Each structure stands twice: as C-alpha cells, then as structure tokens.
Amino acid sequence: MDARFAETVEFLRARIPVPPVVGVILGSGLGDFAAAVEDRLEIPYAQIPGFPASAVVGHAGTLVAGTLAGVPIVVLSGRIHFYEGHPMPSVVTPARVLGLLGCRDVVVTNAAGGIDQSFSAGDLMLISDHINLFGTNPLIGPNDETFGARFPDMSDAYRSDLRTLAKAVARRVKVPLKEGVYVGVTGPSYETPAEIRAFRALGAHAVGMSTVPEVIALGHMGVGVVGVSCITNMAAGVLKQPLHHEEVLETTRRVKDRFVRLLTALVAAMGEGRSPDRLVVVPSRKASAGAGRAKAGAKPKPGSKAKARPKAAARRGATAKSSPRRKR
C-alpha cells in the first residue's frame, strides 16, 4: 500500500473507536445527514494526513464517524472534485480510505441535473449505472495490486442487491425514488442544451460533476456501492431558465427531511448482521456458488431430522448465497 494511505488510515484508526461497516459520501448541500450520526467524532479534512481539502460551497470538508441506528459508520461530509484542479488519485483518496477503514459497502450521493423530462427538481434518483465522460479514469497509471486487479469489472458497479434493498427501504419509509443512469462530466461549467440532448440520446437520466471516479475506485477495491442523486434542477434546455449553484443548495434544503429519512433507513438495512470487529474477505462468485452447491447437496448427519427440499428450491438457495457479494 502507498505510504500516504498507511499514514492516513493509521491516524484515523487511532481516533475512530469502532471500525465502520458502512460509508457515506455526501454531495452538494446534503451535509445535514451527518448531524443524524450518534456519538459522532468530527475531523476536518485539513487535520487528516494525506487528505486533500474540499473548497466548494455546500461541502463542509469534514469526516464524521459514529453510529447510525446502531451501525458503525463513517460519513464524508464534502467531496473532492476534479474541477478544483486536484489530480484524479487525490479525488478518490477519501473513497479509498473508506474501504481501507473497513467499509464493505458505501452509499454515494450527489446533486444532479435532471435530463429525463419526467423528473422534477427535488426528486431522488437511485443510480442504476453511470456513463464516464470525465475523459480520464482514476485507475490510469501503475496498478496497486493491494487494491485490486488491473482490469476491474464494472458490469455491476452499483450493486444490484443493494439497489433492490434501497427500493424496498424507500417503499417502507414512503420516500418516492426514481431510478436512472448518471452521466459524470468534469465541470465546472454547466452543460449546454446540445450536450444535454446528446446525453439523453446516450441513455442518461441525470448529470453531475462527481461520483463516477469514486465508484470506479471503490469497485476496484471490491467495495459494494449504492448511489442516490438528488435532482436539484433540470438540466440546460429542459426549462427556459439559466442554471446557478444557489438553486442546487435551495433544493437540497427543501428535500433534506426525505433524504435523511431514506439514508438513515438504508444504512440501518445495509448494516444488519454485519460484524464491526473485523474485515470480511469477499468471496468470489465461483467460490460462493461452489459452497452453496456443496451445502445444498450435503447429507444430513446421522440422527438429524433435516427435511429434504425440492431440487429447484436448493438451486435457488445456492444462487441466493452466491449473489449478494462479489470480488472484483
């Protein structure tokens, strides 16, 4: 591991009493969620060795550690943007640190412009996939094998089981949740109407200036990701009005109660049954499937009264065991 990551992780582990199992990255104007964390420890990014500073209005630039609904959690209140002039490895440093601290799953959030004309400002969108239009990739350069493979798979970047969980949670807490594809661009200028028409033709539903690099870096490490966009305004050309950052912040203030309610319930659901005292090695899909088949086909011990089940049910059980987690 790069020495600068070792120093950062050592600094934080010495201060965070319980290793986190879930991480959250908050987007523009969404920092109110951090106030819901209990027994929280707040550390400004400027005090963390190796952490770049966040200088965008609406981003506090603070790491918050504690518990939420009994789940050990670390929240990044404020993110690092490529358009601030940071090199891409610095942009993804905070996300990488979440994985190194022990987070097996991370919720990424952002403020986004609505491309889908059925959306309205204030909608929340579950990210099903993304389109990388940053023109670069955080994995360019020598590969650090301690993080992951040279060519990581991105076919399930926003984990399907976590998306299913998010939709179930949204229904339970009665928070309407759209779903769509997020396109990431560099910014800092907003997009032109022609660009938005092109993005719509590519299949994008929302656009923003973050998230994609972090998701690639987390996927590289085998960390599960689920993403939620707050549609803070409609993208250029959808409505006949100019775009400005103040509208983004105003919309996030308006939806903060719904947003906090959804994320709190989602973190609680993601943390159920997770042990905070140790890291869990994520098994490969092939190994998990083999274990599932072996268990399904195992003979009962002498004297046991285990009930037989139909073969189809056994196959479903093996599939259920193999699908939730995968190693990239």
Show me where the domains of the chain are located. Answer: 3-271, 285-322
Q: Tell me if residue 83 is catalytic.
A: yes
Task: Answer for the pair 158, 226: CB distance below 8 angstroms, yes or no.
Answer: yes
What is the structure's pLDDT at 308? 41
Q: Select which of 128, 179, 245, 250 is catalytic.
A: 245
Q: Tell me if residue 244 is catalytic.
A: no
Q: Select which of 34, 88, 125, 209 is catalytic.
A: 209
The CATH class of the 3-271 domain is alpha beta
What is the Cα–Cα distance from 137 to 66, expressed in whole angstroms? 32
> Helices marked H in 154-239 — which ranges?
160-172, 193-202, 212-220
Q: Select which of 53, 60, 69, 83 is catalytic.
A: 83
CA Rg value for the chain: 21
- Is residue 67 classed as helix, strand or coil in its secondary structure? strand
In which residue ranges of the chain is pLDDT below 70? 1, 54-60, 237, 239-240, 244, 273-328
Q: Tell me if residue 209 is catalytic.
A: yes
Q: Which residue has the tokens 């011990």?
A: 301
What is the structure's pLDDT at 120? 93
What is the Cα–Cα distance from 131 to 6, expressed in whole angstroms? 31
Q: Select which of 59, 130, 205, 220 is catalytic.
A: 59
Q: Select which of 229, 233, 288, 322 is catalytic.
A: 233
Model confidence pTM above 0.95? no
Q: Which residue has the tokens 């965070």?
A: 16
What is the structure's pLDDT at 284? 37
Q: Select which of 34, 36, 77, 81 is catalytic.
A: 81
Model confidence pLDDT, tens digit, residues 200-221: 999 999 999 999 999 999 999 9
Closest residue by Cα to residue 292 from 264, 245, 325: 325
Task: Answer for the pair 109, 206: CB distance below 8 angstroms, yes or no.
Answer: no
Q: Tell me if residue 86 is catalytic.
A: no
Number of other CB atoms surrounding residue 150 within 10 Å: 10
Q: Tell me if residue 195 is catalytic.
A: no
Q: Tell me if residue 81 is catalytic.
A: yes
What is the structure's pLDDT at 225? 98
Helices (H) and strands (E) in the chain, counts: 9, 9
Q: Select which of 111, 157, 217, 265 is catalytic.
A: 111
Q: Tell me if residue 111 is catalytic.
A: yes
Residue type (1 letter), 106:
V
